[in-house]
A and B are shown apart, each in its own frame.
Chain A
């Protein structure tokens, strides 16, 4: 058991910040390569014409989830040392709905808007200013929101713990769901493309 490296004291906070910067570069690079600096490619997800958002996201989830599962299984990574946010189910569900609305109205999510800003998109700059305004409004209203923010606490809990099934079983089910989703997404894209082609012809 010797990872996460930081948690096992291989380096301190300041070296951690250097890793943060380097990992961030790779993160931004991957997002831009996927086309996620392009607002119309991102929002096409919600009009069924291009489901790359779903495909990229779930390929990434499956890759990291499966990799982490095996690294924990062979005893290299201590899963209990990987940071997990506590669950507050109702405020997180409401927050998720607002995130979705903001995504399709504004066109980006926070990470992709950074990539769009760095490739010259003016609307992404305005979107970022909007994010700052939204977080500021949340902060100023926090005394009013605090009880809802902390409502329905469930602690640090994973799907395997909630469902009382082994971790590997949930990993396998998520992989199955993703593969089924990819096939469905490709079928939807083809159907939409055929429909569009029919209109112009």
Chain B
């Protein structure tokens, strides 16, 4: 279906790499419809729980919990981990974001499965090797993980949730996310294009 890299790039919206053996993946939902659905999920979260969506905070809870299990004195002496550990009366894993992110894995899996999009592969452009792609994935994840703590949340917690709540810090973070990404996009273009 997609014979060469050019048409693959042009057809990014049509799903990717159809295989003769695998089921043809369904096309993605139109951006406005998907965005409307996502907005309703966020609104439901506000109305039911009084808080929005998030992702990076769940990883912080897991890390704080892990360090607390291995080196409790070290974890409890650190104000950052302490924020996630609380007073110790409740496990840091019994946390709203931890359960929400577990749901994200399940929801993503169900959607991918139903649409014929579950496929074991390394997502990358045609001009980069798998090895280089994985190194950059790790470096990018590291920069993003560090940044998410300075920004006090990531794209879900700040840009999406804080954006909808007209939070000043969230709008600043959101503008800077786009600025940072556009500023370095040129240098990593071979990874994607």
Contacts and interface: CB of A to CB of B under 8 A. Distances in A.
Interface of A: 3-7, 13, 16-35, 37-41, 43-47, 49-50, 52, 55-65, 67-68, 71, 76-77, 81-89, 91-124, 126-140, 142-143, 145-146, 148-149, 154, 157-162, 167, 170-171, 174, 182, 193, 196-197, 199-200
Contact of A196 (B9, B45, B149): B9
Q: Which 6 A-B pairs have the closest CB atoms?
A: A106-B140, A24-B103, A130-B141, A134-B145, A63-B39, A100-B180
B144 A109 contact: yes
B73 interface: no
B183 interface: yes
A27 B104 contact: yes
Interface of B: 6, 9-10, 12-13, 15-16, 28-29, 31-32, 34-53, 55-56, 59-60, 62-64, 67, 78-81, 94, 96-112, 115, 117-125, 133-134, 136-160, 162-185, 188-189, 191-193
Give chain B's interface secondary structure class.
Answer: helix
Contacts of B142: 102, 130-131, 133-134, 137
Contacts of A23: 41, 44-45, 48-49, 53, 100, 103
B173 A122 contact: no
A117 B104 CA distance: 10
Contact of B79 (A34, A102, A142, A157): A142
